[in-house]
């Protein structure tokens, strides 16, 4: 095992990070936090498997009246996006774009898209709040 400290970023690397788009910075931060906390990565989801994920809601689908009741939200963890679908619900208080949460449940691939139905969830930070 190599015990030498990690090399410091070069000036060019630091400048590139300084001028990187905020979505790239957010993605890198989300990925590092998920890995540090021991959560699974969205990009590693293959077939049907039980996973624990953490990330933030990047978008939501609002269904028109008369459509089957469900809440759909895309969770982004820095490695990819998974669509969370809660059946039989018209809304879930506190879950809006920007909300950070953890979810557990069975994930699967539907075509090239990853989905999770009726996951258990815990809100970590509401949209606009900073994590400590």
Q: How far apart are CA 103 and CA 62, in angstroms?
A: 20
pTM of the predicted model, to two decimals?
Answer: 0.75
Q: What is the pLDDT of residue 118?
A: 96
Residue 28 to residue 22: CA distance in whole angstroms: 10
Looking at residue 7, its pLDDT comes to: 74
- For residue 47, give the 3-state DSSP assignment: coil
- For 74-84, give one letter per residue: b (16+ CB within 10 A) or e: bbbbbbbebbb
* pLDDT of res. 25: 66
Mean pLDDT per 10-residue interval, the chain, length 132 residues = 67 63 67 80 88 92 84 92 92 91 93 93 79 50
- The answer to whether 105 touches 122, Cβ cutoff 8 Å, is no
- Contact (Cβ atoms closer than 8 angstroms) between residue 105 and residue 125: no
Distances (CA, A) of 131 to 58, 59, 98: 17, 20, 12
Domain 11-125, CATH class in plain words: mainly beta
CB 49 within 8 A of CB 109: no
Q: Are 97 and 59 in contact (CB under 8 A)?
A: yes
Q: What is the DSSP letter of 12?
A: H
Domain range summary for the chain, segments of one domain joined by +: 11-125
Note the pLDDT of residue 69.
87
Residue 64: predicted pLDDT: 78
């Amino acid at each position: 095992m190599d015990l030498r400290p990690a090399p410091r970023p070069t000036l060019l690397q630091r400048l590139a990070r300084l001028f990187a788009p905020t979505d790239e910075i957010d993605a890198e931060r989300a990925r590092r936090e998920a890995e540090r906390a021991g959560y699974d990565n969205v990009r590693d989801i293959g077939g049907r498997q039980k996973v624990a994920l953490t990330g933030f809601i990047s978008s939501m689908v609002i269904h028109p009246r008369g459509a089957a009741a469900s809440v759909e939200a895309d969770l982004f963890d820095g490695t990819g996006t998974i669509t969370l679908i809660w059946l039989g619900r018209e809304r879930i208080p506190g879950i809006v774009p920007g909300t950070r949460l953890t979810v557990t449940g069975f994930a699967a691939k539907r075509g090239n898209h990853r989905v999770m139905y009726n996951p258990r969830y815990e809100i970590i930070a509401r949209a606009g709040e900073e994590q400590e």
